[in-house]
A = this chain, B = another copy of it.
């Protein structure tokens, strides 16, 4: 058991849309990810997903509105809700979600990460 420094974990990689696992508890995972640009529309049928912004600004597009999430803020996207994360500039995010959560939800494409690195 040791503490985790979030910024330190984020300094270990520079690629986008590639979440790393930095903590695991109760069947859930804490992931660190960097985004830059538009991700894809997707949803998670069985998982609620928490996005906590560590640095920068995340724009979460929903079918009926757009939510701006700044540093120190989080958004919980309920299961079944279509969403598209958008970063106009680099943004650093902590995800808190079940271990079963796939980054692209029901979509399988070149962005899909079936296996995540643990840092």
Residues of chain A touching chain B, judged by Cβ–Cβ distance below 8 Å, are 1-7, 23-26, 28, 30, 47-50, 54, 62, 67-69, 72-78, 81, 96-98
Contact A50 B30, CB 8 Å, known A2-B67, A81-B1: yes
Besides A25-B96, A30-B50, 18 other A-B contacts (C-beta < 8 A):
A1-B75, A1-B76, A1-B77, A2-B67, A3-B67, A3-B69, A3-B74, A3-B75, A5-B72, A6-B73, A23-B50, A23-B74, A24-B76, A25-B49, A25-B50, A26-B28, A26-B98, A30-B74
Question: Majority SS of interface residues in chain A?
Answer: strand
Are A3 and B73 closer than 8 Å at their CB atoms? yes
